[in-house]
Structure 1
Amino acid sequence: MIRCLVVDDEPLALDILTDYIAKVPFLELVKATTSAFEALSIVQNDLIDLVFLDVQMPELTGIQFLKIINGKCNVILTTAYSQYALDGYELDVSDYLLKPIAFDRFYKAVLKVQNQQSQSTPAVTIERPVAASAPDFIFVKTEHRIQKIYINDILYIEGLKDYVSIFTAVERIITLQHMKKLEEVLPNQRFARVHKSFIVSIDKIESIERGRIQIGDKVIPIGDTYRDNFFKKIEDRNI
């Protein structure tokens, strides 16, 4: 089974590729998204075998996306502009689909990926358990760049009105990412949502007293909505 991710800023294009994937028995759709940054997090934190990637997107171009993931999975470029084919092949994509995409051309492209995977099955089988153990880092969009943050460096995350702040021991990174999305991406056993405005790294907690968490100099409240789930995670680590 080939696990697929579709990235395109046009909802109609997402619908077409989603429909095509559903017709092919050896393809499994993991996610169809209009957000290149959401797609980056999924690729870095999940076992994705194949990305259908639009070239022209407002947040991040497909070529930039390819350079960031650096061969982590197979990629089939999708675009209405044939001039991007050379850039894609220089970055070793599996195929190039020109919009509007016909199903027979789509099927030919995914068969090529299936054949490539079948030829490399032993290597994939050995590597996957390591990749599945836990994500090491995430990418977030800051004002001027896309920043890599190692998950082990995160102390806590604070959500404000229009942005979130990710705090490490040495810096504060401000991003427009949503709290909900960060909560989904971060490893569930290592992080806990404790308040509508806070996610904490469980390993970085120094003490818990009277409904408050101490991490370094920061005192973080525990909200009633999140209390039971948080303390269940803490109880699992009690001795």
Structure 2
Amino acid sequence: MTKIRTLIVDDEPHAMEIIRRYATHIPEIEIIGTCNNAIEAFQTIQYQAIDLLFLDIKMPKLLGTDLVRSLKSPPMIIFTTAYQEYAVEGFDLNAIDYLLKPIPLKRFLQAIDKVMHFLHGEKATELAQEEIQHTQDHFLYLRVERRLIKVNTRDILWIESIKDYIMVVTKEKTYQTKQKISVTEKLLPQGEFMRIHRSYIVPLNRVEGYHPNHLLVDGNKIPIGRNYKQACAEKFDPKGTY
């Protein structure tokens, strides 16, 4: 069994001990050390291979978030803090999870489950997005090359499904991730996007023109599926027929 080499960084000994104790329930987790400040952690990470970092945010000398920014290739991050207001910033830094102190064992185990999903290429994106949906309605988090990428939903031109993958197309870039389009549909802001085909979702404010067989989006013809024609006609055609 491959161990997940884990470092705990916290200036509170009691909080550090709780994480260490919880970790004894997880055979895959190997605690290779602890640090009581971010500067010490930075030095440790330079000389030891770390897979997972349990990281407090509000610490003396250097914030945990600033530590992550200073790392060229940060490991997986689980933030641990008593301050909920850092949650958005934490996920902006592609954290796997964000645990509020005091940390219940059940919540700790959920975070480890996300780590396992992430390592096995599963739906870390969906799990993380659900955590912050209430604070960031206009952002979609996508798992791209083992990282969580934040995409502003206002920049999306359309979303296309190809087998088990989706492509999120923006003017600047196209993001590809392994995720079902039905999952993505649930994560988008309600009332701003529409499924028009089994393989396509479009933002309503990007639609430039309507034809019974397609919508015009940023100069591109996006096909309308047979089962979606009536809904599209009612939405985009004043007559409501196709």
TM-score, normalised relative to structure 2: 0.48
State the structure with bigger RCO (CA 8 A, min sep 6), 1 or 2: 1
Greater gyration radius: 2
State TM-score, norm by structure 1: 0.49
